[in-house]
Amino acid sequence: MWEAGLQLEGIGARHWSDNFQLLPVEPDPSFIPAETPRRYSGLMPQKGWPGRNLRFLRHRIVPGMFRRNAGIMLEPVLAPPDADKVRVTWIGHASFFLLFAGHSVIVDPNWAKWHGPVRRQRQPGLDLHGVPEVDLVLVTHAHFDHLHKPSLKILQAREGIVVPKGSGTLVRRLGFPATYEVKVWDELLFDQLEIIHTPSHHWGARFLHDTHRDYGGYLVRAGGKSVFHCGDSAYFDGFEEIGKRYEIDIALMPIGAYEAPSGRDVHMNPEEAVRAFADLGAKLLIPMHYGTFPLGNEPHDEPVERLLAEADRLGIIDQILVPEEGVGIEW
């Protein structure tokens, strides 16, 4: 398998890992990989942003400060699923605990109560201190609601953390045994656990000056099952390319924050998420990135309502599963 520009602890190299040991691999000079254009949404807000931000402050931020958190925190189910299944547990926002028969992964862990003035509206589905050591932690991009340092400092991952190219400096001092920086289409293999970094249409800057940081999603494969975590993304034709390259069982798709106060093209609405799901050719859609933090001007319950309505209109309602936080879905 070809590895494109993987970086380990800040050193550019080509690597293959087997039985959790990294081994060097020589590139095949005759192989030229297909490239999917990166889609960067930019930093500048669109026309009308002052009014949208005022509405966001009055109707989302301020009421959210005084609203009591909904949901309950559960203990994770740690018994491994059957060899041909995966257990997917939504923790909240874009955070997921993926448990395969022989491997475990956490994606975008975030137990924050606040992000600046934005208060969490629903309890994390799992107790952070009850989450066991996993094989890997995956972070899709450097935004504060996806790369949450306090959560990362507590989690333990025996093989380390995977981040997009340019974000390694943000996590190297958080206690992980190894840091892997990856570019789009890079592939990592840890025993029977395979990680593939996929493209998205978003942006990766944590502040305003660090636009060099990459962003994307991940395909996680183990035990014959594949789970695609989209990360943050607007709709783009890259979903079709991902679907052509890989078979996907479960797609974790963002459906909220589409009424962005900035007006930028950075998130999918529910109908676009269904369209992306169809492009991917996945078998099951589990929504995310809604309800936990009020990040857009859309009504709180609208994302799921629109998602189910669109799925019903297209006759694929049986391919949509909307879980409660903390409840493991075995599939």
Give the pTM: 0.86
In which residue are the tokens 């943050």 written?
Answer: 232
* Of the listed ranges 52-61, 104-113, 303-312, the one predicted with least confidence: 52-61
Question: How far is it, in rounded angstroms, from Cα 224 to Cα 249?
Answer: 10
Higher pLDDT, 48 or 219: 219
Using pLDDT thresholds of 50, 70 and 90, give the confidence band for residue 9. Answer: very low
Whole-number mean pLDDT of the chain?
87
Percentage of the chain beyond pLDDT 90 is 73
pLDDT digits (tens, 9 = 90+) for 119-148: 999 999 999 999 999 999 999 999 999 999
pLDDT digits (tens, 9 = 90+) for 24-34: 333 333 333 44
Which pLDDT belongs to residue 41? 63
Dihedral sign for Cα 243, 246, 248, 254, please: negative
Which pLDDT belongs to residue 68? 87
* Of the listed ranges 97-106, 107-116, 211-220, 253-262, the one predicted with least confidence: 253-262
Question: How far is it, in rounded angstroms, from Cα 75 to Cα 80?
Answer: 14
Which pLDDT belongs to residue 43? 64
Which pLDDT belongs to residue 2? 31
Q: Which residues of 207-216 are buried (b: 16+ CB within 10 A; e: fewer)?
A: eeeeeebbbb
Which pLDDT belongs to residue 226? 98
Using pLDDT thresholds of 50, 70 and 90, give the confidence band for residue 54. Answer: confident
Range ranked top by mean pLDDT from 13-22, 70-79, 312-321 = 312-321
283 contacts 319 by C-beta, under 8 angstroms: yes
Largest CA-CA distance found in the chain, in angstroms, rounded = 60
Question: How far is it, in rounded angstroms, from Cα 208 to Cα 66?
Answer: 30
* Of the listed ranges 2-11, 183-192, 218-227, the one predicted with least confidence: 2-11
Q: What number of H helices and E strands is found in the chain?
A: 7, 21
pLDDT digits (tens, 9 = 90+) for 142-187: 999 999 999 999 999 999 999 999 999 999 999 999 999 999 999 9
197 contacts 186 by C-beta, under 8 angstroms: yes
Could you give the angle at which helices 238-245 and 270-280 cross, rounded to 10 degrees? 30
188 contacts 28 by C-beta, under 8 angstroms: no
Residue 129: how many CB atoms within 10 A of its CB? 8
Using pLDDT thresholds of 50, 70 and 90, give the confidence band for residue 210. Answer: confident
Q: At residue 306, does pLDDT exceed 90?
A: yes
Smallest CA-to-CA distance from 219 within 244, 255, 236 is with 244
73 contacts 126 by C-beta, under 8 angstroms: yes
Which pLDDT belongs to residue 246? 98
Q: At residue 86, does pLDDT exceed 70?
A: yes
Give the list of residues 6+ apart from residue 63 with CB closer than 8 angstroms, or none.
Answer: none
Residue 249: how many CB atoms within 10 A of its CB? 17
Q: What are phi and psi of 121, to 5 degrees?
A: -100, -20
Give the list of residues 6+ apart from residue 309 with CB closer than 8 angstroms, or none.
Answer: none
Which pLDDT belongs to residue 38? 55
Question: How far is it, in rounded angstroms, from Cα 322 to Cα 286?
Answer: 6
Q: Residue 284 corresponds to which amino acid?
A: L
